[in-house]
């Protein structure tokens, strides 16, 4: 029988349908395995703070299984044994992820970072103790620069290939045959490329003094990578900040130099700085973080306090410090001009009017748009809540102990080690000298550019016994 036009038509239609179905299922398969998004919801707001996605997985999330096995393939590229903990990352018992990491499925599981990576502190009473984790405190040991270097170095190594990586993953997880192909031909090569790009975009870091643990250059990555401003020669190395008790901070300028005045914007710029994009930023999840840090109380000093001495100290505080540091103080939460405060000015000069303008333009048209970034001329007289856990002190973390801050700069510790989290209740701060601190810590030399411990000489002329009383009071904050 001869084919009639209608028969041909039917055949074409059938082929077309089959083709559409085929393309459709390939498309679906591709979508399912590469783009489908599944987020984890944490009932507890503290867990959400520690592990909940802020939207940083899409653009910068390393595929989870690869991320997990890298320290096992490349222990030689880490500063010490111990995997990621050697970079100051903390695992809570019973948790899949370390504090400050999220995991989200975008086709396949990807790892991201959360606010808690930099904004949760740890301390130990003795070297044998497990670290006590305090959410909202400044991390004094997470080494972001070391972490970025590690990822970049892994990607440059020839062992960063499917054979090594898939073999190592198989000890943790049975990937399906299809997944293995996906990892071998798409995910592993792409991750390698992305990590090499990461190394490239952070190359500016290597031309400046080391940040060390507990410190980052928070806005240079934003300036150069997010806002597209030309790479300049500024050094923005600054200490992590505590973010608890924000309701009491209402109206205070935010960040060390007060470059923000809105808490919501500070939270959302935090997520952009951590790798969330305009499309991926989890505004709802971040609102939950904001509500949490508004209410989160600062931690109480865990050692005994001589209450009588502290009461005497509170009067010394009243006459020497309260105008700038007490809640309700006339200048608390405002920017004190750099010429008056006299501390290191590099962090201040890192942020420019051009950067503020560009960031204010950045999210134009989004309902979470930024418009309160600004350029200031000094550092904020910060509230001192939870002060005991905020060592080392000042914006660049240049003063290891509170007792040191009450000495004139010439008598403050010139070289110390930071990143060791055993506490020193006598000096009020983390143990920053001695064999153990040297072994675990990063050598901080105050003579290095942007590390200066000059300035803030308030209280340095008090009598020794008044200093003792004042310190006792500061422990109560
Ligand atoms: C990679 C480390 C890092 C991560 C992750 C991070 N921050 Fe920060 N954050 C910092 C540093 C460092 C500062 C101080 C920066 C400066 O001004 O020099 C800061 C400052 C802040 C402040 C200002 C506090 C004050 O009293 O002025 C807030 C609020 C804040 N961060 C919230 C967040 C939130 C919310 C997130 C998560 C969305 C986040 N941060 C993620 C490092 C980080
Ligand atoms: C004129 C205002 C002013 C007075 C008075 C003042 N401070 Fe400060 N204080 C500041 C500023 C501004 C900063 C931030 C400086 C920096 O980090 O570069 C600061 C920082 C600090 C810090 C470090 C906080 C941290 O998280 O690292 C401590 C501790 C501190 N001051 C204690 C005191 C004590 C104690 C007194 C009284 C003896 C005092 N200050 C008097 C303005 C003041």
pLDDT at position 387, please?
A: 98
Ligand 2 within 6 A of 393 CB? yes
Cα of 282 to ligand 2 centre, how many Å? Answer: 35
CB atoms within 10 A of CB 130: 10
Distance CA 214, CA 216 (A): 7
Distance CA 228, CA 430 (A): 38
Q: Find the helix packing angle between 263-273 and 283-295, rounded to 10°.
A: 120
Task: Say whether pLDDT at 373 is over 80.
Answer: yes
Distance CA 182, CA 186 (A): 5
Distance CA 370, CA 265 (A): 6
Cα of 208 to ligand 2 centre, how many Å? Answer: 27
Q: Are 288 and 271 in contact (CB under 8 A)?
A: no
For 313-364, write each residue's pLDDT tens digit: 999 999 999 999 999 999 999 999 999 999 999 999 999 999 999 999 999 9
Distance CA 348, CA 57 (A): 30
Instruction: Give the residue with greater pLDDT, 137 vs 26.
Output: 137
Cα of 339 to ligand 1 centre, how many Å? Answer: 25
Q: Are 73 and 164 in contact (CB under 8 A)?
A: yes
For 399-453, write each residue's pLDDT tens digit: 999 999 999 999 999 999 999 999 999 999 999 999 999 999 999 999 999 999 9
Protein residue with its CA nearest to atom 37 in ligand 1? 115
pLDDT at position 5, please?
A: 63
Please, which residues have CB within 8 angstroms of residue 255's CB and are 6 or more apart in sequence? 218, 241, 266, 380
Q: Find the helix packing angle between 307-320 and 464-474, rounded to 10°.
A: 100
| Whole-prediction pTM | 0.93
For 87-135, write each residue's pLDDT tens digit: 999 999 889 999 999 999 988 999 999 999 999 999 999 999 999 999 9
For 281-305, write each residue's pLDDT tens digit: 999 999 999 999 999 999 999 999 9
Protein residue with its CA nearest to atom 42 in ligand 2? 381
pLDDT at position 473, please?
A: 98
In three-state secondary structure terms, 146 is helix
Ligand 2 within 6 A of 456 CB? yes
Residue 400: closest CA among 413, 381, 386: 413
pLDDT at position 471, please?
A: 97
List the domain boundaries for the chain: 39-474
Query: What pairs with residue 379 in β-bridges?
Result: 336
The DSSP secondary structure of 101-129, one letter per residue, reads EEEEEESEEEEEE-GGGTSEEEEBSSTTS
Query: What pairs with residue 98 in β-bridges?
Result: none
pLDDT at position 3, please?
A: 54
Query: What pairs with residue 418 in β-bridges?
Result: 442
For 169-195, write each residue's pLDDT tens digit: 999 999 999 999 999 999 999 999 999
Task: Say whether pLDDT at 1 is over 70.
Answer: no
Averaged pLDDT, 271-287: 94
Which of the four pLDDT bands, split at 50, 70 and 90, describes residue 28? Answer: confident
How does strand 238-239 pair with strand 415-418?
unpaired
* Ligand 2 atom showing the smallest separation from residue 256 Cα: 17
Averaged pLDDT, 377-395: 98
In three-state secondary structure terms, 396 is coil
- Ligand at minimal distance from the CA of 395 is 2
pLDDT at position 4, please?
A: 63
Distance CA 442, CA 397 (A): 12
* Ligand 1 atom showing the smallest separation from residue 215 Cα: 12
Cα of 66 to ligand 1 centre, how many Å? Answer: 27
Whether residue 210 has a cis bond before it, omega within 30° of 0:
no
Q: Are 400 and 432 in contact (CB under 8 A)?
A: yes
Distance of CA 173 to the CA centre of its chain: 29
Structure tokens at 155: 């990607």
The values of phi and psi at residue 215, to 5°, are -135, 150
Residue 176: closest CA among 316, 379, 70, 33: 33
pLDDT at position 377, please?
A: 98
Cα of 363 to ligand 1 centre, how many Å? Answer: 19
């Amino acid at each position: 029988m001869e084919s009639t036009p209608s028969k041909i038509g039917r055949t074409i239609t059938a082929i077309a349908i089959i083709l559409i179905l085929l393309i459709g299922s390939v498309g679906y398969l591709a979508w399912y395995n590469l783009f489908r998004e599944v987020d984890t919801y944490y009932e507890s707001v503290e867990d959400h703070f520690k592990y909940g996605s802020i939207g940083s997985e899409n653009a910068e999330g390393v595929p989870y299984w690869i991320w997990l096995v890298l320290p096992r393939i490349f222990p030689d590229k880490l500063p010490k044994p111990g995997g990621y903990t050697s970079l100051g990352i903390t695992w809570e018992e019973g948790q899949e992820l370390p504090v400050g990491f999220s995991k989200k499925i975008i086709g396949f599981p990807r790892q991201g970072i959360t606010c808690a990576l930099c904004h949760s502190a740890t301390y130990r009473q003795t070297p044998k103790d497990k670290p006590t984790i305090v959410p909202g405190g400044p991390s004094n040991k997470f080494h972001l620069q070391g972490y970025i270097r590690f990822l970049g170095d892994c990607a440059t190594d020839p062992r960063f290939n499917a054979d090594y990586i898939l073999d190592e993953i198989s000890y943790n997880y049975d990937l399906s045959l299809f997944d293995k192909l996906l990892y071998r031909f798409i995910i592993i090569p792409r991750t390698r490329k992305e990590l090499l790009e990461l190394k490239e975009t952070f190359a500016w870091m290597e031309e400046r003094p080391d940040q060390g643990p507990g410190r980052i250059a928070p806005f240079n990555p934003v300036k150069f990578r997010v806002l597209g401003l030309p790479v300049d020669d500024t050094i923005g190395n600054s200490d992590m900040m505590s973010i608890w008790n924000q309701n009491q901070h209402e109206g205070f300028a935010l960040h060390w130099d007060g470059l923000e005045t809105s808490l919501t914007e500070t939270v959302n710029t935090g997520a952009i700085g951590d790798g969330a994009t305009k499309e991926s930023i989890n505004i709802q999840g971040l609102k939950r973080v904001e509500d949490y840090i508004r209410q989160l109380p600062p931690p109480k000093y865990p050692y005994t306090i001589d209450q009588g001495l502290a009461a005497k100290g509170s009067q010394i505080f009243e006459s020497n410090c309260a105008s700038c540091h007490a809640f309700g103080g006339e200048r608390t939460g405002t920017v004190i001009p750099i010429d008056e405060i006299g501390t290191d000015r590099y962090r201040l000069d890192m942020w420019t009017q051009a950067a503020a303008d560009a960031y204010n333009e950045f999210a134009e048209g989004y309902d979470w748009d930024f418009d309160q970034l600004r350029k200031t001329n000094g550092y904020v007289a910060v509230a001192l809540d939870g002060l005991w856990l905020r060592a080392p002190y000042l914006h660049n973390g240049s003063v290891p102990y509170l007792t040191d801050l009450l000495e004139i700069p010439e008598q403050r510790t010139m070289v110390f080690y930071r990143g060791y989290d055993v506490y020193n209740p006598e000096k009020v701060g983390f143990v920053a000298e001695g064999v153990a601190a040297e072994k675990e810590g990063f050598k901080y030399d105050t003579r290095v550019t942007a590390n200066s411990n000059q300035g803030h000489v308030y209280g340095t002329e008090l009598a020794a016994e008044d200093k003792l009383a004042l310190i006792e009071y500061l422990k109560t904050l």
